[in-house]
A and B are shown apart, each in its own frame.
Chain A
Amino acid sequence: MKLRYIVLAIAGVLAVALVAAARWHLPLNPLAGGGSRTVTAGASKISIGGPFTLVTQAGKTVTDATFRGKYLLVYFGYTYCPDVCPTELAKIATVLDRLGPLAAAIQPLFVTVDPARDSPSVLASYVPQFYERLIGLTGTPAQIARIAKAYHVYYAKVEDKTSPGAYSMDHSAAVYLMGPKGEYLTMFSHQTGPDTMVKTLREYVKKTS
């Protein structure tokens, strides 16, 4: 009789663990504060970035290799987000405008953490509002999970209890600067203002070109 309870208890714990693992993705958030060149967790460095395959707002399939030769400003968000994402995308647009000719070397990317709602056509009506060269990226849940994991981006669905079917997304709100070889350079937190971003971008984009 005892053995059965032990087995049931273990099964219960496993079930809870499986549900938890399915609900959450590894929440490694390198920095809460301002940008920094390297990211460390304990003694080892976390590498940010990596291969991805996604679909643009025009329905075109792209990979990380598509963007080699350009600096990337990568932001993860979702279009149903009424506040933070418009703020962040407008900030990126302001920064690129202020950089003048230097902006041509930088490709801004908006990656959705909500591929269920953010189809290419939804992205097509959303991203041009902020910046004409902004590329919106979506994909299958697995493709999104892959790029989010590579960038250590946390995201999770939060149901709206007062409205069936409605939900928001908790998500990491940083902007990642990647170099022309696909290498991670630095990141800007949500609190970082456009002046700091412009200054930092002038340092990086001039240095390695």
Chain B
Amino acid sequence: MKKFIYAAALVIAGLNATPTFAHDYELGKLRVSQPWARATARHVPNGAVYMTLSIAGMTADRLIAVSTPVAKRAALHTLLMDKGIMKMRPVKAIEVSPGSPTSLEPGGLHIMLMGLKAPLKEGQLIPLRLTFARAGTLDIEALVQKPGAMAPAHRRTRSHSKD
């Protein structure tokens, strides 16, 4: 399945200058779907990465750490809306339960990148190393979208602008 996606990616990459969709990754029963990030401004050293985590089988797992060469630190955060006040707080781990995918998306759970070495540019692929409590480490690449993007680009071959 992964090979097919890579082959399709090569074909599509050939048709476009930059990749137009984000990949899925698997580690044992874990699946990391469409990791993506937002482009950042020149002086802003923080960024956010999003993805969907799911797991087959009967046993849950937890994302407990993230690292990346593109930033000094990566941490797990969530957003809490409290009487109209937006609060960002660190979380120690992100649960992945069978039958219940966990979505890291704008307005909620996210991986925060701190101390970006360079601004993230649309179309860039960011390498990340995810560490799960049970499954171990998984290396992925997140595709950078527009600064205000709300979702990753579709993985289908039809091209359309992000809306």
Measured CB to CB, the residues of A under 8 A from B are: 27, 29-32, 79-84, 86-87, 89-91, 93-94, 121-122, 125-126, 129-130, 154, 158, 160, 162-163, 166, 168, 170-174, 189-191
Contacts and interface: CB of A to CB of B under 8 A. Distances in A.
Contacts of B147: 86, 90, 129-130
A99 B20 CA distance: 29
B112 interface: yes
Interface in B69-89: 73, 75, 79, 81, 83-89
Nearest to A119: B43
A154 B43 CA distance: 25
A54 B163 CA distance: 33
Interface of B: 38-39, 41-48, 73, 75, 79, 81, 83-90, 106-107, 110, 112-114, 146-150
8 nearest A-B pairs in the assembled complex, by CB-CB distance: A90-B148, A82-B48, A125-B42, A173-B86, A29-B84, A126-B41, A122-B43, A129-B147
Nearest to A154: B85
Contact of B46 (A82, A121, A162, A174): A82
Nearest to B50: A83
Contacts of A81: 46, 88
Contacts of A122: 41, 43-44
A170 B84 contact: no
